[in-house]
Amino acid sequence: MKRLLGILLTIFIIVIFLKGCIRADIPELEFSKHITPSIKNFVYPDENKNVVLNGVDYIKSQAPVGKFGGEIVISTIGEGPKTFNPCNTKDATSSSMAGLLYEGLLATDSRTGKVIPQLAKSFQIQGNDYTINLRRGIKWSDGKPITADDVVYTYNEIVFKGLGNPSTMDAMMIDGKLPKLEKIDDYTVKFSTSKPFAPFLRQLSYPIVPKHYFKTYSDKGASVFNAFLSPNTNPKKIISNGPFLLKEYVAAQRVVFVKNPNYYKINLNNEKLPYIDKLVYLIVGDTNNEILKFEAKEIDVIGLKGNNVARYKEKETESDYIIYNLGSDTGTLFIAINLNNRKNQGGKPYVSPVKQKWFRDKEFRKAIDYAIDRKSMIQNVAYGVAEPLFTSESNNSVYLNKNIKGHEANTKKAKEILSSAGFEFKNNKLYDKQGNLVEFDLYTNAGNLEREALGVMIKQDLEELGMKVNFKPVEFNSLVNKLTNTYDWDMVIMGLTGSPLEPHDGKNVWTSNGTLHMFNMGVKPEERFEWEKELDNLFDEGALKLTFEERKPIYDRYQEIIYEENPIIYLYSPVRISAIRKKIKNVYPSALGGLLYNLDEVYIDK
């Protein structure tokens, strides 16, 4: 044990010594003034081209021609994917794997942030009408053509009916109305919105699925459809349009993908991509196991947490990997507080009335915010490789409200806030006006060592206020069930992915009827807080403004509300630092997409 503590202390000292030069030593990526991410010391190929060969509309990659063959092994922490149904993903692992199998009409270019055609060859906007021209001649993995029928089915029968994960339906709603979609011909469709709608094009990245395969299941209702394409599905039966096909899934061990011979992207020599034959995800239990597998050369890419950055950087020149600094994480890390005052069908409150009074008290939440020692978290958990976060937009968002400066941890001020709100301190314990001891549960997902460490520190910070905190790491699926189904939770440490380009993507979190409005799930319109009503209005208004200059003040205000009301308390943004084997070529790091957003273009050069 002493030896372990000595090693940890040594690593900590090295990190503190080196953290001042980390940003200078590691190639750093940053956003330019508005949307376009720029990269120092890297030259991107030109934008991809549309070409027609033998009647097929291909995307022609402009990346250097690579070598065919080989495999790349990456990792995923936790228990693996929960589904391969791209319409029903609710976690990052399932979403990323389904994204290898299914693509949308349009996509966001990970290098420039622009909206670019994908299954679509082109698009035109005229007023509130969006005409999408599909690629001709491209096929599903079973050889059948991809046509307008698949697009109309995907949106009208899945998205607009709220099957699977309804977040896209929420995001496309304008004044309670969904867009209209009509088929013009076999390769042309037209969406019509009721009003001009700034975020609309980015919503068209939703994965298009094969009508001839999915319809049998969607016709049977939500429960059947949501169970469709579970991890137990025979991989040979899955029909896809993405760069890869599912080859094998072994529970808690690995997921194996192979290249899709019908993929519609080609290289400069008109040869079909991807280059690699196989992509393997090793399912690792936690970050410690991930590090061991990277060091054993069992995986090719790893995201480095703070306590490993200095050690890996020190060895880089003599290693077979290269390290990149990708800037602040585009997601957010936070504590959510359950404000729900609803009752279940049996009349029992989801949250006890005693706790409801605490959690729904703005001053109680404010005291917790002041008690959280973010600097200590960054130093001891992130080892200095992170930045404090006080806003609901990530630190690299082009919509970040820079007027929100945050504050230092201040236990004295937190106690003063609680005293003013009627709470009392007796024998180093906190009691409410009715004499109830302030005691609650704090959850996070087990196996995520960073969040588990944060839970221990938050427990200590809040116990300085006399609160009794029962910290409970639980299995991820159980945690999601608590948050979205049973509502049986008090506080939780969580993270959400996000887009630094489009705040509207968070509509399902912040609007009162959103499917991820976790802090007050299922609230009735008449029972909303006044600030929830304002959030609803802001997100409606922001979507209808068409310029950045018009939208920025609206999204500044929404961030102010979250900062003032604290239903969610933000912690910090890790700086994303990743290591990748030097044998992997055509790697063009992006602050938006990371290292391997272009898996169809990368190749192995041994």
Q: Using alpha carbons only, how large is the chain's radius of gyration in Å?
A: 25
Q: Is the CB of residue 599 less than 8 Å from the CB of residue 580?
A: no
DSSP state of 158: I
Tell me the DSSP string of 373-406.
-HHHHHHHTSTT-EEE--SSS-TT-TT--TT---
| Per-residue pLDDT reduced to its tens digit, 169-198 | 988 988 889 999 999 999 999 999 998 888
Residue 45: predicted pLDDT: 65
Q: Please give the structure tokens belonging to residue 42.
A: 């890297």
Over the stretch 477-514, which tens digit does the pLDDT of each residue have? 788 888 888 888 999 999 988 788 889 888 889 999 88
Cβ pair 48, 256 in contact under 8 A: no
Structure-token pair, residue 44: 């991107």
Helix axis angle, 362-371 relative to 411-420, nearest 10°?
170
At residue 36, the pLDDT reads: 29
Domains and CATH numbers, the chain: 8-46+244-329+576-604 (3.40.190.10), 49-63+78-227 (3.90.76.10), 332-574 (3.10.105.10)
CB 498 within 8 A of CB 506: yes
How sure is the predictor about 46, in pLDDT bands with cuts at 50, 70 and 90? low
pLDDT above 80 (res 43): no
Gap between the Cα atoms of 382 and 307, Å rounded: 7
Query: Which DSSP category does 170 fall into?
Result: H
362-375 pLDDT per residue, tens? 999 999 999 999 99
Cβ pair 518, 509 in contact under 8 A? yes
Give yes or no for a contact between 332 and 394, defined as CB atoms under 8 angstroms apart.
yes
DSSP state letter for 133: E
The percentage of residues in the chain with a pLDDT greater than 90, rounded to a whole number, is 68
Contact present, 104 and 207 (Cβ < 8 Å): yes
pLDDT in tens, 312-355: 988 999 999 999 998 888 889 999 999 998 877 777 888 889 99
**Cβ contacts of 388 within 8 Å, gap of 6 or more:** 374, 375, 378, 406, 571, 572, 573
pLDDT tens string 347-359: 788 888 999 999 9
Question: If you ran DSSP here, which 8-state letter would residue 210 be given?
Answer: -
pLDDT above 50: residue 110? yes
Residue 561: the pLDDT is: 97
Structure tokens that stand for 421 in this block: 């709100």
Dist. CA 485–CA 51, nearest whole Å = 48
What is the DSSP-derived secondary structure letter of residue 526?
A: G
Mean of pLDDT values over 39-43: 42
pLDDT tens sequence across 211-236: 999 999 999 999 999 999 999 999 99
pTM tops 0.85: no
Q: What is the mean pLDDT of residues 144-159?
A: 98
Strands (E) across 486-558 are located at 491-496
Q: What is the pLDDT of residue 514?
A: 86
36, 38, 44, 50 alpha-carbon torsion, rounded to 10°: 0
Beta bridge partners of 400: none
> pLDDT, tens digit, for every residue of 277-315?
999 999 998 888 999 999 999 999 999 887 788 889 889
